[in-house]
Structure 1
């Protein structure tokens, strides 16, 4: 019993040091789930975060930062392999971040653990996303895709371009292809092939979106009410004095004020009740980032997913994470 107590002490101390009570509760619950999923694991501290080791290898770790929590499988292949299941979360090759009051679903944690264990198993294979070495259009012939779906690769590229697929994220792209293709395998293959062909995805990695960040929060209102707020009260989320006309191609401006730079951009996509996509460029940035707001109905309200891509650097990523976390928290209070 003494040995077991000693092994638990580092994580106990870490959790005790987390001042945010919501984050401490969330990470404590995550720890209990990992104990059930990994009953023979050793609890320790690795890279200054709580971690679970199996036969000497770290399988899972977690941590709390200034305003968000993170889950880390200690592998560069697990998160990219589960990218479709992680849609809506801010991810990197090494981990997944989430808000303290929006814990990772238990099923998702289980999938992350299973993927890491499979990777470490004797003779185990690396996750599928890490194995791909060739473009899908090079591995699957024109005749094969045409026989299965009715179009060859060039025809699919033209059709998806015409349908505006360049502005869609992966999940939306798969849904678009699914309107014509029943097979889930072909839906994914065509979607990834298109992303590779248009430079949105490099072989074996995620889309080339540079530094990116995502924040999600469930708000105490219905999806129609949330859409109404976004479109009729733009100052609530863009800032005081914001001028925005909700039509694709229209520019917008947010005046500079004390403590906040001016922002300008252009609206690219408007899907009523579902999604807004636009550029976002503060005065100090030389190039614009991409900002997307997506609504999702929930049993107890509506979730607002905020995702930014093509951020200039890691400092801007953390600044935007903090910025949007505060915006969503303020909306939730009202």
Structure 2
């Protein structure tokens, strides 16, 4: 599925709508061709930048049934990052849910009531609802930027290490497309 963000960006960058690209590529590329062949065709025949040749080919290949990096069968497109920090999981939890911490990943938002069903919206338009809370261990919520068509699911895990540090695992799924994952 290609979302409205990609459709707007590809039209702005290339002067062609996503639907026009599909029509052009359906007529001009071998559906069994490699990723490199499709990307190079777009680059050489249509005067598109390398970056947009890559994006158009990846999302077109998805229409052909190819599965891009980050796409799953059940959770849509996802991305995850883990970082180990030299602080306790309580310190990490308390910082990320403080006004200073929240401003980094949600924006200017009133303090969150950490209860299932609690909705939030920042002044910047990021919105969602808390769906799971295990203090100092897990926070799960829907998370949607104002320009997105659909909300994603965001999960934060705070894991103690044997050395007394904390691994913060951030996992976001149900993204509309791989273009959103990259952004």
Check if 1:307 corresponds to 2:171. Answer: yes
Question: 2: CA distance between counterparts of 1:241 and 1:291?
Answer: 18
Select the residue among 215, 219, 225 that pairs with 2:81. 215
How do 1:291-302 residues align onto structure 2 when only pairs under 5 Å count? Answer: 291-298=154-161, 299=163, 301-302=165-166
Per-residue CA deviations over 1:297-316 (Å, capped at 9, x if unaligned) read 12252111000111011111
Detail structure 1 runs of 4+ shifted over 6 Å in the superposition: 93-96
Query: What is the match of residue 99 of structure 1?
Result: none
How do 1:176-215 residues align onto structure 2 when only pairs under 5 Å count? Answer: 208-215=74-81
User: 1:282 offset after TM fit, Å?
Assistant: 0.8
**Which stretches in structure 2 are left out of the alignment for 5+ residues?**
1-34, 37-66
Select the residue among 153, 161, 172 that pairs with 1:290. 153
Contact 2:103–2:109 (Cα < 8 Å) also in 1: no
Per-residue CA deviations over 1:234-288 (Å, capped at 9, x if unaligned) read 42433441222211101011222xxxxx210001100111100000111111111
RMSD value over aligned CA atoms?
A: 2.6
**Which stretches in structure 1 are left out of the alignment for 5+ residues?**
1-46, 49-92, 97-205, 257-261, 320-334
Which one has the largest radius of gyration?
A: 1
Compare the two structures and name the one with the higher helix fraction: 1
Query: What is the match of residue 248 of structure 1?
Result: 116
How many equivalent residue pairs? Answer: 116
User: 1:231 offset after TM fit, Å?
Assistant: 2.7
Query: What is the match of residue 143 of structure 2?
Result: 280
